[in-house]
Structure 1
């Protein structure tokens, strides 16, 4: 299950077990684990607060938590080779920037990809799978789906990435079962 690559993408549907699997992978690195939370905390959203508390209870107390709703690239840039960053989640980070125009979004996502390429740390990213169902009825939903899908694809195709899909509590190592789409680009 543990791999020598420094970037791991764990993707899957809501409540599929992807965060739990990412936590197992992080624990197995034997590095200092820093849980990087990308959510903006809304004290009025009780459902969201409950989910955050569930995640917190599962994590070992020795893990550090870093709340980074906007400055994800900077957090990755500062990480040391002795650290494992568990970033939960890429979808939440994308949602934080849906108001950005296309060019600004491209700059932001390119910066994230560059930070991932250059980091000395082990990085585990949790990402939601979207777009397997009905086309979102609203432009903002379609924008989220497209930006997250594109970014997840770019991350999973980085040379140093292992990608997993978690479905119904089962884990598939996509890096062993398939090939990156980038192998087939014209």
Structure 2
């Protein structure tokens, strides 16, 4: 059975580095799934992406997958580990979609995970630990991401919360919350 690992936490907590650590331990061919696209005008984002690239082994492949994540997972092979960085950025690409279209995209992703042959590691941002966003789009992002992270966490083989310089193994430390009925 394929491994599904969820790595979540606040900004600058080391989520990506912890996910990279696990991908390296898998002893498989790693495909880094970048869910954003580079913009020539956004030099600060380009610098962040470059730091991530420098940290990764040169043997890892990179694919830009801003929307078709379910397809990338379906195409993954048993000998591969997909490191998806990040779930929040992927979700942001769907913020203009209405609830029905978003539900369809989310269901496609969850269905792909249920039948995945490859190992998958998700990096996911934690939102909602502070103030309620003052604008509707911010609340939509927070609510959709919180719900998706919860659903993936329920089916993941491992879940880590990265905070304060520590990786907390939530599957061993926590008690699973009852699953939501459909």
TM-score interval, smaller chain: over 0.9
Deviations 1:30-75 (CA, angstroms, capped at 9, x unpaired): 0000000000211111111110000000000000001101111100
Deviation at 1:184, TM superposition (A): 8.4
Contact 2:154 2:179 in 1 (8 A): no
Residue 12 (str. 1) matches residue 3 (str. 2): no
SS of structure 1 residue aligned to 2:167? strand
Q: TM-score, normalised by structure 2?
A: 0.96
2:152 aligned to 146, 150, 155, which one? 155
Uncovered stretches (5+) of structure 1, i.e. residues with no partner = none
1:163·1:174 contact (CA, 8 Å) conserved in 2? yes
Among residues 62, 78, 82, which one is paired with 1:81 in the alignment? 78
Please report how far the alpha carbon of residue 179 of structure 1 lies from its aligned counterpart in structure 2 after TM superposition: 2.1
Counterpart residue number, 1:175? 171
CA RMSD of aligned residues (A): 1.4
Matched, 1:52 2:49: yes
Of residues 116, 120, 127, the one that matches 1:119 is 116
- 1:155 match: secondary structure: helix
Cα deviation, 1:101-144, whole Å, max 9, x if unaligned, reads 00100000010011011101000000000000000001000000
* 2-structure distance, mates of 1:139, 1:40: 24
Number of aligned residues: 181
Deviation at 1:183, TM superposition (A): 5.5
Moved over 6 A (4+): none
